[in-house]
Amino acid sequence: MRAMSGDQVTEAVRGCVTTLRAAVDRDWSAVRAGRLDWDCHATAVHVADDLLAYAANLAGRARDAYVPFELRLDDGTGNDGLLHVIETTGALLAAAVDTADPRVRAFHPYPFRSADREGFAAMGVAEVLLHTHDMAEGLGLDHTPAEGLAESVLTWLFPHVQPGPEAWPTLLWATGRGELEGRPAVDAWRWHNNLVIPAERLTLTGLRPAAARDLRLGGDGGFTWLGGAPYEGTREAAGFMVKAYEAGVHRPDFGVFTLVRAEDGLAVGGIGFHGTPDTEGRVEIGYDLVPEARGQGYATEALRALTQWALARDDVHSVVATVEADNAPSQRVLARAGFHRAGTEQEEAAREEHGMASGLRLYVHGG
């Protein structure tokens, strides 16, 4: 897995500056930046301002709003100086990303009001790539970033977007900047940082497609695991998530979460949904722990936190889980988390309507 880091920010900024330097003698204020309402000068300042704001929020661990300042150029700053500002603010973001603790999250409004260091790196890269495209389009310059950079942005910030044949045209389409054969035009869009749900001793950290793919292929998904590796059930769940992403049906709110222990940052298991809620507001949940973490109440804690989060939504009325008839420890976990054994009729309906295997028992919370 190619983790998002300061290296990708630096690479994107280098490409931006190299592209725009070919038009450094032009009047950027007189040229509209592609399809934007801004001119190229205003767009370049916006890029630098965002890079600085992301660096400040991450380094300052902003909680509820952006750090209250903004970038202002000195009077008389020319295009060459503006490019130097972009290089400098890019270096600040790269440094902030590379020195941040992986558990740190800071304010960003979309969609869950926070992002981790990989999220800030990906947002910085996205700003640079997309707005360099806008300015290059306006100035008549060629600009095609490395495919790996575009793919990283998609797999870290656009988990709801089905991958296309090539990453860069897909990213342009997903942000309303181009067409993609067989897909409708995009009029409005937002990127999507991962969902994180705090519990008492754990943090439920939403998996991004890039991390899920790495787990499926035998990697660590960017986490340090208690015992050295995730349990096989976590890899299997990650594989299902990747299939949903590649099919264009993955919904990040109802994905897979890694259970990260707050005291030391070690991953101890996985939990997640088997899909989105059905028409009756029913959603199924599954979980596992590495052997070294069992018997300490982590599964109960995680199950309770994710279930409460789900039932607080308008589109979820009940959360269900299935367990083998002879798996008494898992049944006790479900009971401690507030689930109850379903009645005979409910279990029969689950077998007929949802394909539940005959050897499983059904547990229900809510509805």
- At 31-78, the pLDDT tens digits run 999 999 999 999 999 999 999 999 999 999 999 999 999 999 999 999
- At 90-142, the pLDDT tens digits run 999 999 999 999 999 999 998 999 999 999 999 999 999 999 999 999 999 99
Q: Is pTM beyond 0.85 here? A: yes
Could you tell me the domains of the chain? 6-174 (1.20.120.450), 196-366 (3.40.630.30)
> Residue 35: helix, strand or coil by DSSP?
coil
* Prior bond of 111 cis (ω within 30°): yes
With 70 as the cut, is the pLDDT of residue 235 above it?
yes
Alpha-carbon separation of residue 247 from 163, 164, 251, 353 (angstroms): 8, 10, 11, 23
* Banded model confidence at residue 5, pLDDT cuts 50, 70, 90: very high
- Rg (the chain; Cα; Å): 23
* Banded model confidence at residue 367, pLDDT cuts 50, 70, 90: confident
Cα angle 321-225-193, degrees, rounded to a multiple of 5: 70
pLDDT at 1: 65
